Amino acid sequence: MAGPTRRPGFLREAELRLLRCTLPSPPSSSPPTASPPPAHPLGAAAASVLAAVEAGDYEAALAAAAPHLLPSSASSGPPGSAAEFYADLAAATRAFLLGVGDGGAAGEGFECRCVVVFSAAVAALLAFTQQNLTGPPREFPTFPFWTSSLDEGCYSNLGDIWDAWASDKLASFGSHVHGKFPHLQFIVFAELLLTSLHSLSDCWSVSWWLFRISMFQQNILDELSSSLYDQVQVYKNKMLDHFCELEKVSTYWDSLLCDGEGSYFVSAAFLEAGIAEYKYGRVDASRLHLDSAQEACGLHLSLTGILGFRTIHQVDAKSQMVLVAKTNKSGSDERQTSEPTLAQNDNAALKTARSSVPVESDEFCDILRTPRLVHEGSNSASENTTGSSANISLSAMQQAAVLAQCLHVSRRSRSDEMSGWEMAPYIESIDSQGESYFVVRSLCDILRVRWESTRSRTKQRALLMMENLVEDVGKEFPVAAQRVKMVFGVHMPTLPALRKEYGELLISCGIVGEALDIFKDLELWDNLIYCYRLLGKVADAVSLINARLSVTPNDPRLWCSLGDVTNNDDHYKKALEVSNNKSARAMRSLARSAYNRNDFHTSKILWESALSLNSLVPDGWFAYGTAAWKDKDLDKAVDAFSRAVQIDPKNGEAWNNIACLHMIRGKSQAAVQAFREAVKFKRNSWEIWENYSKVALDTGNVRLTLEAVKTVLNLSSNKRFNVDILDKVMTLLEEQPPHFVDTHEASDDANKETRQSNQLLDIIGDILQQIVRSGGSNADVWGLYARWHKTKGNLLACSEASLKQVRSLQGSGLWHDQKKFTKYAQASLQLCKVYMEISSSSGSKRELLTAEMHLKSTLKQSADFSDTEEYKALDNCFEEIKNLIAATA
């Protein structure tokens, strides 16, 4: 339905007020005052619902709105199934919005009805957020539409059944809700109401709230969902189309905006879009959105080094990486407090609770939470344009942008010890802020815990910090209305996800029993099985899962977990049965099982089915490509590995497999490009570098070939080298001897080619010398070394290397093996020719006598091979040398 064009009215003001609930307070010194409600009979009800949402009383808001939305059948008798009831509820909501007999889709009545529906949807979403993300926990009704007019007896036994239905509805194809989330009907209810408003062309913020719901839905699932990704992109693009420019925002709300408030919405839109792209692993798209968000909120970030101290007992100052924040305005321009003014005592209580976390003076840790910088001891004040972020008061939006940039840094960099230190300046900059909203401070602490838990010296502090974080969510203060500020502008984990991280941290510290209780309460069966295995109680895990299956026999997650612990494919097949063939996890497990049985064709088919349900599984695409490769289906293998690197561009193994498949198919140029990506992420794999050298040679890139060969040599401690590749490169260089070029008369191109040839000769010489010095040389290497010396014009060194090649080929089986004799004869012939060249250039007779003696002995011992071409060549050379000796006598 499309509302008529109108100037900003009650609905548009309601949109603004609802968005303000999740954004920082307006920058003006006096808070905005709400306009009086419309004179329409629904005006007072709409205003009360809206005011309840702003006050954080979401239960009251839902109770006030529900009577206007419930279908007539809700109070006439026992409801049918959840699906039927919510379908009736959707129809009743649409009828309510149409307002048949009450002005229809026009006038104040229409605006009031839209505000009731809109406010109820936001109340349901924020109630779900309070219960599962921000806290403090509250006893909400089981049903989001509950009012006192409904008969409790009809609904008393439906809560668990309808929550299970909501879980199935929220679960995308192939994905499941990850953990135990209460009140799942609330988010279904919110999506239903907002969808009924989505067709309003003059209500821009609906797409923003639908985007938020879709992202929340993704965050509670156990894996990324391709269908949800498409939905998120649709809503994100609509949101950015409306709120990407300050001019559009200012025109839309006009006089309703406070001074400077418009930039909040632009910054928040880009920030949330960047977090969404980060969630789906799209690093480049995320970076663009985050850059736009920083620009909109007047923030420029850079890193620098400043002398400082990292530990309590450190004597000398060392360079510390520090975040430098430059702002377009001073921090006082955007006044916001971490908690409401009326709750300063509660805020003090919260800070007291946080002070139990070990800090610098704690006996357990001597590592400073933020480095003590040398310049901090000076009396000079730092200006915003030059000082570090520790000296600048950042606004709430700017703090959220810093944390989002921190997450982006963690995703774009490699996963090693250094990645934590690259994130540290961003974490420490927020730690240094005097005032922060609850979710901003909480995410900062979570990022610190993730970093410090990887270091032995700070792991205990990280454990205590995580324990406090979990406890803070359950405390009464700050209140819900303050905790929801910026909740969508930071990538805060849900409460079950936070408790899961806590459990995993406990396991890493050896506290398995406590972690076991956490996973059991969250119904995280896979983690529970892992704990039982650590304790050597696999049978207890089986008994627990069977007990749960007796209660919920149609839960595919339980059947998959039972299959994991028993290695029985029948349980995976049962999971497919109860899920109507929609359990991607069960299909993936069956595909792995078939692969392990060497049934590669079946595995490939099962992977195709699993990935058709959910395609955002990089490990799945990799496994599919491997199965297709084993099944000789090279085209599908290339496609699968290509999809894997599209989802995870840092998958070096997938890049390597793509390159190898291109090698097999004879596409050397494509293989080189794939190997170039592979070695970025697998630099220490000599196997990849060795393959890289082969395809580089096929494409004629000699320099790249030699660089790859040298890397293989270094990575393998001088034990791996490909003589065939070196031989081919040497042959190419021998065909274009650089030292014959007259650089004074040759053209510039010839000079350039000469320099390049000389450089390549030097590189291959370094490689051969490295092999020889390591003691790992063989006859082939000595032969190449001799050829290199000859190309460089050093005949004496060439003769020495050739002699060592001949000696390397000598052995007990030489005179009885034609292949060995052939190689020996060829090496001997080359040695004698070098001796002849030395004698010719120096006039010395000694080299000829040495060659004669060597050939005489060789011909005598190789009489059995007198009919071979190699023997005849040696004999001819022997005669030639005798003639030369006679000529010089």
Give the pairing type, strands 318-327 and 367-373. Answer: unpaired
Task: Output the six-digit token pair for 312.
Answer: 């309590």
Residue 771 contacts residue 713 (beta carbons within 8 Å): yes
> Which residues fall within 8 angstroms of residue 274, CB to CB, at 6 or more apart?
286, 287, 288, 289, 290, 292, 293, 404, 408
Neighbours of 362 (CB within 10 A): 15
φ/ψ of 776, rounded to 5, equals -100, 15
- pLDDT, residue 27, reads 67
Instruction: Render the burial of 188-225: b for 16+ CB within 10 Å, e for the rest.
Output: bbbbbbbbbbeebeebbbbbbbbbbbbbbbbbbbbbbb
Best-predicted range by mean pLDDT (235-239, 318-322, 408-412, 562-566): 235-239
Average pLDDT over residues 425-453: 94
Spatial distance between the Cα atoms of 538 and 22, rounded to a whole number of angstroms:
46
Task: Output the six-digit token pair for 344.
Answer: 């300063």
- pLDDT, residue 350, reads 44
Neighbours of 409 (CB within 10 A): 16
Q: What is the DSSP letter of 747?
A: -
φ/ψ of 350, rounded to 5, equals -65, -40
What percent of the chain is helix, strand and coil (3-state, nearest 5)?
65, 5, 30
Reply yes or no on whether the pLDDT at 84 is more than 70: yes
Q: What tens digit of pLDDT does each residue of 614-628 get?
A: 898 879 999 999 999
Average pLDDT over residues 692-708: 92
Positive or negative, the CA dihedral 428, 432, 437, 438 is: positive
Q: What tens digit of pLDDT does each residue of 642-692 get?
A: 999 988 888 899 999 999 999 999 999 999 999 999 999 888 999 999 999
Q: By mean pLDDT, which of 127-131, 419-423, 607-611, 746-750 is the weakest?
A: 746-750
The identity of residue 748, as a single letter, is: D
Give the pairing type, strands 367-373 and 299-311. Answer: antiparallel
Best-predicted range by mean pLDDT (275-279, 360-364, 716-720): 275-279
Reply yes or no on whether the pLDDT at 376 is more than 60: no
- pLDDT, residue 355, reads 43
Location of structure tokens 């509820």 = 89
Average pLDDT over residues 595-605: 96
Neighbours of 701 (CB within 10 A): 17
Which residues of 248-406 form beta strands (DSSP E)? Answer: 299-311, 318-327, 367-373
- Helix axis angle, 512-522 relative to 525-534, nearest 10°? 160
- pLDDT, residue 117, reads 97
Best-predicted range by mean pLDDT (360-369, 458-467, 738-747, 879-888): 458-467
- pLDDT, residue 105, reads 53
- pLDDT, residue 591, reads 97
Task: Output the six-digit token pair for 473.
Answer: 């969510």
What's the per-residue H, E or C state across 642-699?
HHHHHHCCCCHHHHHHHHHHHHHCCCHHHHHHHHHHHHHHCCCCHHHHHHHHHHHHHC
Confidence of residue 174 (pLDDT cuts 50, 70, 90): confident
Alpha helices in 297-437 (DSSP H): 344-354, 396-412, 417-431
Confidence of residue 750 (pLDDT cuts 50, 70, 90): low
Average pLDDT over residues 815-831: 90
Residue 613 contacts residue 584 (beta carbons within 8 Å): yes
Residue 473 contacts residue 135 (beta carbons within 8 Å): yes
- pLDDT, residue 356, reads 45
Confidence of residue 3 (pLDDT cuts 50, 70, 90): very low
Average pLDDT, the chain: 87
- pLDDT, residue 381, reads 35
φ/ψ of 831, rounded to 5, equals -60, -45
Average pLDDT over residues 305-322: 91
Distance of CA 86 to the CA centre of its chain: 37
HSE-up (13 A, CA, CB side) for residue 863: 4
Neighbours of 735 (CB within 10 A): 7
Spatial distance between the Cα atoms of 141 and 162, rounded to a whole number of angstroms:
13
Spatial distance between the Cα atoms of 640 and 624, rounded to a whole number of angstroms:
6
Reply yes or no on whether the pLDDT at 194 is more than 60: yes
Reply yes or no on whether the pLDDT at 62 is more than 80: yes
Residue 488 contacts residue 134 (beta carbons within 8 Å): no
- pLDDT, residue 392, reads 81
More confident residue, 695 or 328: 695
More confident residue, 139 or 148: 139
φ/ψ of 877, rounded to 5, equals -65, -40
Spatial distance between the Cα atoms of 748 and 122, rounded to a whole number of angstroms:
73
- pLDDT, residue 278, reads 94
The identity of residue 767, as a single letter, is: I
Spatial distance between the Cα atoms of 463 and 458, rounded to a whole number of angstroms:
9
Confidence of residue 171 (pLDDT cuts 50, 70, 90): confident
Spatial distance between the Cα atoms of 443 and 472, rounded to a whole number of angstroms:
12
Q: By mean pLDDT, which of 48-62, 367-381, 425-439, 800-814 is the weakest?
A: 367-381
Average pLDDT over residues 278-301: 95
Residue 65 contacts residue 116 (beta carbons within 8 Å): yes
Best-predicted range by mean pLDDT (55-69, 141-155, 318-332, 853-867): 55-69
> Which residues fall within 8 angstroms of residue 493, CB to CB, at 6 or more apart?
219, 446, 501
Which H or E element spans position 721?
none
- pLDDT, residue 813, reads 81
Q: Tell me the CA distances in angstroms from 496 to 2, 221, 222, 367, one per residue in order.
A: 40, 11, 11, 30
Reply yes or no on whether the pLDDT at 795 is more than 80: yes
Residue spans per domain, the chain = 45-197, 297-492
Which residues of 453-584 form beta strands (DSSP E)? Answer: none
Task: Output the six-digit token pair for 441.
Answer: 């401070």
What's the per-residue H, E or C state across 590-651?
HHHHHHHCCCHHHHHHHHHHHHHHCCCCHHHHHHHHHHHHHCCCHHHHHHHHHHHHHHCCCC
- pLDDT, residue 24, reads 93
Spatial distance between the Cα atoms of 216 and 488, rounded to a whole number of angstroms:
9
pTM of the complete model: 0.81
Distance of CA 853 to the CA centre of its chain: 69
- pLDDT, residue 6, reads 43
- pLDDT, residue 104, reads 54
- pLDDT, residue 345, reads 41
Reply yes or no on whether the pLDDT at 380 is more than 60: no
Reply yes or no on whether the pLDDT at 30 is more than 50: yes
Percent of the chain with pLDDT over 90: 61
Average pLDDT over residues 311-327: 91
> Which residues fall within 8 angstroms of residue 168, CB to CB, at 6 or more apart?
none
Percent of the chain with pLDDT over 70: 89
Q: Tell me the CA distances in angstroms from 418 to 370, 421, 660, one per residue in order.
A: 17, 5, 31
Average pLDDT over residues 120-139: 96
More confident residue, 103 or 805: 805
Reply yes or no on whether the pLDDT at 761 is more than 50: yes
- pLDDT, residue 31, reads 57
Q: What's the length of the chain?
A: 889
